[in-house]
């Protein structure tokens, strides 16, 4: 019998399941199986692969309620958010089912009459994916959709905190007709599975969503076998509100961006930069709205904010709040917790901090929790300088009704995803990816399939 992993509900600490972990030999066998399956799956027609992806999406949507319940149980997010994530996950499958049909090559004019030059693209090989606990379904389909559309085979390791949704998603893939050796799941600890994926000669691509330090390690380890890497890593999103902004619109976008998934998304607003002329009115409205959010078990009706995932996450968030308070921040909302380390649940009330300065840790580290620090700026250049003053470059938000300022922010913010008067820019049909230490490559959009393809050039001579 292999080692068992206990999966718990972060809202109650209750045990949900004990699942068997793969060991080195089962993982290596699955990698070989995925590699062998690639030889035939990559030769299937794109239309057949599109049909499989569409059928998988249909089954995901037919099972929306049960998948959402499972997700809320293991991740903690409110049921409405889980339902939304299931639909979001399905949208990546249908989007890439269509993109499969547009894997164009090209012919290139030769510099003589005796040659023809042809460029084609083909699937890269077996793809190994490592996915996070904050979006247990969508971060998998955002990778599996384009991989299968391109003709790759796929093996995925879900996060240890949330494997149950993924186990069900993979079952649904097989029910949809996708062969079992084409989509496989491996359960294990990241530190054990990561090196097996990166050193395997069968894996031609590693795709990862998670922290920047782990991403750097995977990039280093992948160099040995020169694998392709796609990395969706940490963020530290600025949320800039200019003095001409529609403040009510900014407040509701700020609530959605900051408190979705209890602040545990890579693109969450992490630093509120508010023009000094409007900081009082924005802070009051935002803090009042945050106080009205209902915190609790995501399965209960009307809950807006669930627990944070585990003690490690909780400790980091609380340390940032305490550090900010010690250095002069004022608590405008929240700042309190409801937790029991023995039972294993950790809630943090939506927290808004005022009088924040760059001396505070929260302005330099990703929080991954429901805490909104507010700092002021005097002019647009200062806002841009503070926003860009980080090694991260995933998402940034700016609120202004002036098109000149909007374009200035668009051109000068060094982030891969921008929301202009929009707190929720993520969608299957647009590219999602970071600059600097936030990642390599984009997922979603027409860009999202590129990392799963290789270019082949043919020169025909002697004509």
426 interacts with ligand SIN by CB under 6 A: yes
Q: How far apart are CA 94 and CA 282, in angstroms?
A: 39
266 interacts with ligand SIN by CB under 6 A: yes
3 is catalytic: no
Say which of 74, 85, 99, 232 is annotated catalytic: 232
Distance, C-alpha 80 to centroid of its chain: 18
Q: Which lies closer to ligand SIN via its Cβ, residue 35 or residue 157?
A: 157
- Out of 67, 267, 303, 333, the only residue in the binding site for ligand SIN (CB under 6 A) is 267
Q: Which lies closer to ligand SIN via its Cβ, residue 151 or residue 210?
A: 210
- Out of 41, 135, 282, 347, the only residue in the binding site for ligand SIN (CB under 6 A) is 135
Q: How far apart are CA 33 and CA 154, in angstroms?
A: 10
Residues 333-362 that bind ligand SIN (CB under 6 A): none
> Smallest distance from the beta carbon of 318 to ligand SIN, in angstroms?
21
Sign of the CA dihedral 283, 284, 287, 292?
A: negative
72 interacts with ligand SIN by CB under 6 A: no
Distance, C-alpha 364 to centroid of its chain: 20
From the list 421, 446, 422, the residue with the least C-alpha distance to 433 is 446
Among 66-74, 242-250, 265-273, 371-379, the segment contacting ligand SIN (CB under 6 A): 265-273
367 interacts with ligand SIN by CB under 6 A: no
Q: Under DSSP, is residue 274 helix (H, G, I), strand (E, B) or coil?
A: strand
Do 156 and 54 contact (CB within 8 A), yes or no?
no
- Out of 8, 73, 82, 134, the only residue in the binding site for ligand SIN (CB under 6 A) is 134
The helix (H) or strand (E) run that includes residue 232 is strand 228-232
> Smallest distance from the beta carbon of 261 to ligand SIN, in angstroms?
8
232 is catalytic: yes
Closest-by-Cβ residue to ligand SIN is 426
Residues 220-239 that bind ligand SIN (CB under 6 A): 232
Q: What is the DSSP string of 325-343?
A: HHTT-EEEE---EEEETTT
State the residue for tokens 């030999």: 25
Residues 280-319 that bind ligand SIN (CB under 6 A): none
Q: In what order do the strands lie in the sheet with 453-460?
A: 106-108, 116-123, 453-460
Residues that bind ligand SIN (CB under 6 A): 134-135, 209, 232, 265-267, 426
Residues tagged active-site = 232, 266
């Amino acid at each position: 019998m292999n080692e068992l992993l206990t999966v718990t509900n972060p809202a109650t600490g209750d045990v949900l399941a004990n699942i068997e972990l793969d060991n080195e030999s089962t993982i290596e066998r699955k990698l070989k199986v995925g590699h062998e399956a690639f030889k035939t799956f990559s030769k299937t027609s794109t239309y057949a692969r599109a049909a499989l992806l569409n059928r998988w999406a249909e089954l995901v949507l037919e099972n929306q309620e049960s998948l959402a319940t499972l997700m809320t149980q293991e991740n903690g997010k409110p049921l409405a958010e889980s339902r939304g994530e299931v639909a979001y996950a399905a949208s990546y499958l249908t989007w890439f089912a269509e993109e499969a049909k547009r894997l164009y090559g090209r012919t290139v004019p030769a510099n003589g009459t005796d040659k023809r030059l042809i460029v084609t693209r083909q699937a890269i090989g077996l793809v190994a994916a490592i996915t996070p606990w904050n979006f247990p379904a969508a971060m998998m389909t955002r990778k599996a959709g384009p991989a299968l559309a391109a003709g790759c085979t796929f093996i995925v390791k879900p996060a240890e905190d949330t494997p149950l949704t993924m186990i069900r998603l993979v079952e649904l893939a097989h029910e949809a007709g996708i062969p079992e050796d084409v989509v496989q799941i491996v359960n294990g600890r990241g530190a054990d599975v990561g090196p097996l994926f990166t050193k395997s000669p069968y894996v031609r691509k590693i795709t990862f969503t998670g922290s920047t330090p782990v991403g750097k390690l995977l990039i280093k380890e992948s160099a040995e076998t020169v694998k392709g890497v796609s990395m969706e890593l940490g963020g530290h999103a600025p949320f800039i509100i200019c003095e001409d902004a529609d403040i009510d619109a900014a407040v509701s976008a700020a609530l959605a961006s900051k408190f979705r998934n209890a602040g545990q998304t890579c693109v969450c607003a992490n630093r509120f930069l508010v023009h000094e002329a409007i900081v009082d009115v924005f802070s009051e409205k935002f803090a009042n709205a945050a106080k009205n959010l209902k915190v609790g078990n995501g399965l209960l009706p009307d809950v807006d904010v669930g627990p944070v995932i585990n003690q490690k996450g909780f400790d980091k968030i609380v340390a940032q709040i305490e550090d900010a308070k010690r250095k002069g921040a004022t608590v405008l909302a929240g700042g309190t917790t409801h937790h029991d380390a023995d039972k294993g649940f950790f809630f943090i009330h939506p927290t808004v901090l005022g009088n924040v300065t760059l001396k505070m840790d929260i302005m330099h580290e990703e929080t991954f929790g429901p805490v909104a620090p507010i700092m002021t700026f005097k002019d647009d250049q200062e806002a841009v300088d503070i926003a860009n003053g980080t090694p991260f470059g995933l998402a940034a938000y700016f609120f202004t009704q002036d098109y000149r300022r909007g374009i200035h922010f668009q051109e000068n913010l060094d982030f891969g995803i921008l929301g202009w008067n929009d707190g929720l820019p993520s969608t299957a049909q647009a590219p999602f990816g970071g600059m600097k230490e936030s990642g390599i490559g984009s997922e979603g959009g027409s860009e999202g399939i590129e990392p799963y393809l290789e270019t082949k050039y043919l020169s025909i001579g002697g004509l």
